[in-house]
Amino acid sequence: MAKFLTLHGPNLNLLGEREPGHYGSENLEAINQTLAERCKTAGHEFDCFQSNAEHQLIERIHNSRTESTDFIIFNPAAFTHTSVALRDALLAVNIPFIEVHLSNVHKRESFRAHSYFSDIAEGVICGFGKTSYTLALDAAIQMLDEKG
């Protein structure tokens, strides 16, 4: 059994009402619920955390070290484009992660094309709305299965 942590960055607590053209109509709770069920069906453990504060996301990443988290699914939201501190936190704990975005960041403003995470992630999935998360989780489960 593997332990998955899904982390959601700033403003993602407003999913469902926030810019639905970019982020869809599903709220965060429903997305987490889908991921939790998928994890359970595959025989794995699921945890999730959302914060609008950079330091809280950093603390949660640090805690995942002692919680024996095997894999992180991370949507850093706007911190994608700004946060060296979150990048360093992920490098410090050395837990594999997939970077996720609901929207296709490459189809939007040019500042969204740069990420502080993509080059240290196992992979990046963007542009599929809520399905970006399930694709990431399925890929992570497969990766861990293949590693044994």
Q: What is the binding site for ligand DQA (CB under 6 A)?
A: 11, 75, 77-78, 80, 101-103, 105, 112
Is residue 65 within 8 A of residue 95, CB to CB? The reply is: yes
- Which residues are known catalytic residues? 23, 101
Token readout for 147 is 């590693």
Q: At closest approach, how far in Å is the CB of 85 from ligand DQA?
A: 16
Q: At closest approach, how far in Å is the CB of 126 from ligand DQA?
A: 6
Q: Which is nearer to ligand DQA, 78 or 135 (CB)?
A: 78
Stretch (H or E) spanning 32:
helix 28-41
Q: At closest approach, how far in Å is the CB of 108 from ligand DQA?
A: 7
Q: Which is nearer to ligand DQA, 6 or 75 (CB)?
A: 75
Q: How many helices (H) and strands (E) does the chain have?
A: 5, 5
Task: Give the distance from CA 49 to its chain's centroid.
Answer: 10
As a whole number of angstroms, the distance between CA 53 and CA 81 comes to: 15
Q: Which is nearer to ligand DQA, 61 or 102 (CB)?
A: 102
Q: Could you tell me which residues are beta bridge partners of residue 98?
A: 73, 123
